[in-house]
Amino acid sequence: MKILVTGAGGFLGKAIVERLLAHGQLDLRCVLRDTSKARALEEIAARYPGAKLDFVAANLRNPAEIGSAVTGCEMVIHAAAALKGSPAEMFLDSVVASRNLLEAVVNEVRPIRVVLVSSFGVMGVAELQRGAMVDESTPLERHPEQRDVYSHSKLRQEQLFWEYRDKYGFELVVLRPGVIYGPGGGHFSNRVGLSLFGRFLHLGGNNLLPLTYVDNCAEAIVVAALYEGSTGQIYNVVDDDLVTSRQYLAMYKDKVKPVRSVPVPYFALMWGSRMVERYSERSRGQLPAIFTPYKTRAMWGGNQFSNAKLKSIGWRPLVSTREGLERAFAAFRAEPEKAK
């Protein structure tokens, strides 16, 4: 089976390619925006005899570049998405790009199975009680405009996939990873805290972090993609034995480098968020409302997480959270954090 992977050169994309090869899927087509990323994938493929990788240089913003990439594939794993940039760019790279890809998929004569890498950000967690369980039944975000642009763009992306599925009837599997981490990834999720005015504000307190080690996440995507019974299903992706934000920060300080952090308790954060929102409104946006009660509830309210549904189709973490953090922190120590 020929499988197309978008975003194949990315942090998660590379791991997906590796896990596909490990599961015996050797005929892969990798879509890359930047062809210099092909080398790392070739190095991975070299470890799997019989692997046949071909590379397509395409910017998914341009519909003309996608059609030929999709032709001949039986499955598409869509891992490309924008992580940063202006709102318009993020929507172009996550939503418009998805629409272009879906148009190419539905224009193929042969049916194509579609696997979307969505995000935890699409769920409406701000409306849940603190500590509530987040699983696949958690409703979608109802007020994306009040969340961050990343969550908004990922929500619209996932909605688009369901809309096209309903209209054209192809097989769709959706995975919603939590915080993907590992060597080469970001050091701190915003769920831990934010750097502000030269200090690291520790905002996550004792909240559990919905971590998933990059290889575990890729394994989940591949297991769900190849499991027939997953059609039409959503799977949240988090690992076992999750650590709290406080534990993560303490381990980071111990294993990577000192961080001058200031812990901000939730009640103080909520009070501050109300003040920031009020000031932003009163001053007609003189300072941006980077904190609002809604955003704070969504990001730092704290939840429980379940991976039971994922395990029910045979997924098991390849790397324990303890081992994953060891590996990530060792890599972070060797390579300083990239500027955001």
Partner 1 sequence: MTDLRKLRIGIVGCGKIADGHAEVVKHLVGAELVAVCDREPLLAEQLAVRYGVPAWYGDVGEMLARERLDVVHITTPPAVHLALTRQCVAAGAHVFLEKPLALTAPESRQLIDAVVAGGRQMSINYWPNFDPPAMEFKQMMARGVLGDPVHVEAFIGYDLAGAYGQALMSDAGHWVHRLPGKLFQNMMDHIFNRIIPLFPDVEAEVHAFAYKRREAVRGDATDAMLDELRVFLRAGDVSAYGSLCSHARPVANTLKVYGTKATAELDFNNRTVVTTASQKYPSAVGRLAPPFQMAGRYLSAAKRNVGQFRRHEFHFFAGMSRLLEEFYASIRGGTAPPISYAEILRVADVMDRVIEQVYPTPVAESAR
Site residues for partner 1 per CB under 8 A: 59, 62, 85-89, 91-92, 95-96, 99, 144-145, 149, 152-153, 156, 282-286
Mapping DSSP to helix (H, G, I), strand (E, B) and coil, where does residue 134 land?
A: strand
Under a CB-based contact definition with an 8 Å cutoff, are residues 193 and 245 in contact? yes
The nearest distance, CB 278 to partner 1, in angstroms, is 13
The nearest distance, CB 95 to partner 1, in angstroms, is 5
Under a CB-based contact definition with an 8 Å cutoff, are residues 59 and 80 in contact? no
Instruction: Output DSSP code: residue 35.
Output: G
Q: How many residues does the chain have?
A: 340
Instruction: Output DSSP code: residue 93.
Output: I
Which residue in 151, 150, 116, 123 sits closest to 139, CA to CA? 123
Residue number, 88 or 268, with CB nearest to partner 1: 88
The nearest distance, CB 284 to partner 1, in angstroms, is 4
Which residue in 48, 160, 123, 149 sits closest to 306, CA to CA? 123
Residue number, 87 or 265, with CB nearest to partner 1: 87
Residue number, 66 or 242, with CB nearest to partner 1: 66
The nearest distance, CB 141 to partner 1, in angstroms, is 12
Proportion of the chain in helix, strand, coil states, percent, rounded to 5:
45, 20, 40
Under a CB-based contact definition with an 8 Å cutoff, are residues 278 and 270 in contact? no
Residue number, 85 or 293, with CB nearest to partner 1: 85
Residue type, 207: N
Residue number, 73 or 90, with CB nearest to partner 1: 90
The nearest distance, CB 73 to partner 1, in angstroms, is 24
Residue number, 59 or 247, with CB nearest to partner 1: 59
Which residue in 161, 187, 182, 181 sits closest to 172, CA to CA? 161
The nearest distance, CB 86 to partner 1, in angstroms, is 4
The nearest distance, CB 88 to partner 1, in angstroms, is 5
Residue number, 86 or 304, with CB nearest to partner 1: 86
Under a CB-based contact definition with an 8 Å cutoff, are residues 147 and 141 in contact? yes
Under a CB-based contact definition with an 8 Å cutoff, are residues 89 and 56 in contact? no
